């Protein structure tokens, strides 16, 4: 299959996970002193969040191919390690994890890819989803820019073998929520995710993060 997926797919899972990481990081402070101060406060606040939901709009730019794709939907997270990305456009599809398994469901081709979290790379984003990450240890803070309605902070992974090259997180000044992330990977692919209608600690039940494979859908285990 040669099409570029607008949402799910194993190749896009890493980028959305890094974006998802910052849904949990909600600062309470209106006047961060510098980039390192922001990182410390994000870590502190992350530890007090158990679940989150938000509407999202995602755009991915493939620089080398001179192509771009867009998608939108709703995302839910619950510690430890549970997530559900429900894409509503341009097609209905999902990424689901119960903290042990990960399912990538693409109904337009009647396929589910099932893998385990343990099979995945030990990335900082996954560590945060499991409540085991340390933002200051995993990322080096770069430029902090103050805009009219937000702060924007550049973050660089300390572990160079990850696929992440740079992450920019934008913090809304009014509610002090992460409202936008821009992930650039080592291949030059840039993924922007904008979060809206963010709800903290909605507490969806654990069963919401289990995936039942529909009848007639092909199961693939890489």
Tokens of 95: 């990424």
Number of domains in the chain: 1
| Residue predicted with more confidence, 135 or 202 | 202
* Domain ranges, residue 139: 10-220
Q: Mean of the per-residue pLDDT values for the chain?
A: 79
- Taking residues 40-64, what's their average pLDDT? 82
- Taking residues 32-55, what's their average pLDDT? 74
Instruction: Evaluate whether residue 145 is within a structural domain.
Output: yes
Instruction: Evaluate whether residue 2 is within a structural domain.
Output: no
d(CA 165, CA 157): 7
Instruction: Evaluate whether residue 31 is within a structural domain.
Output: yes
Q: The whole model's pTM is what?
A: 0.79
Query: Residue 163's domain is classified under what CATH number?
Result: 2.50.20.10
Q: Which range (15-29, 124-138, 165-179, 183-197) has the least confidence?
A: 15-29
d(CA 40, CA 47): 11
Instruction: Evaluate whether residue 40 is within a structural domain.
Output: yes
Instruction: Evaluate whether residue 5 is within a structural domain.
Output: no
Give the pLDDT confidence of 76-123 residue by residue, as tens digits: 988 888 889 999 999 899 999 898 899 999 999 999 999 988 776 555
Instruction: Evaluate whether residue 4 is within a structural domain.
Output: no
pLDDT of residue 29: 45
Instruction: Evaluate whether residue 3 is within a structural domain.
Output: no
C-alpha closest to that of 46 among 17, 16, 80: 80
Instruction: Evaluate whether residue 16 is within a structural domain.
Output: yes
pLDDT at 197 > cutoff 60: yes
Tokens of 43: 């870590």
CB 164 within 8 A of CB 18: yes
C-alpha closest to that of 199 among 27, 24, 43: 24
């Amino acid at each position: 299959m040669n099409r570029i997926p607008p949402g799910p797919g194993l190749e896009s899972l890493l980028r959305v996970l890094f974006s998802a990481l910052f849904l949990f990081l909600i600062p309470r402070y209106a006047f961060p002193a510098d980039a390192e101060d922001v990182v410390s406060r994000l870590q502190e606040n992350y530890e007090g969040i158990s679940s989150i939901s938000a509407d999202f709009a995602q755009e991915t730019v493939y620089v080398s191919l001179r192509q771009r794709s867009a998608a939108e939907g709703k995302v839910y997270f619950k510690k430890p390690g549970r997530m559900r990305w429900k894409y509503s456009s341009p097609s209905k599809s999902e990424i689901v994890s119960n903290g042990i398994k990960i399912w990538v469901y693409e109904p337009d081709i009647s396929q589910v890819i099932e893998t385990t979290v343990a099979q995945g790379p030990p990335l900082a984003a996954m560590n945060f989803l499991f409540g085991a990450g340390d933002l200051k240890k995993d990322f080096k803070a770069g430029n902090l820019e103050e805009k009219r309605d937000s702060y924007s902070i550049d973050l660089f992974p300390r572990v160079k073998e990850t696929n992440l090259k740079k992450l920019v997180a934008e913090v809304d000044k009014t509610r002090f929520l992460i409202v936008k992330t821009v992930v650039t990977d080592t291949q030059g692919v840039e993924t922007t995710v904008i979060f809206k209608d963010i709800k903290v600690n909605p507490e969806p039940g654990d069963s919401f993060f289990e995936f039942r494979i529909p009848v007639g859908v092909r199961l693939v285990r890489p």
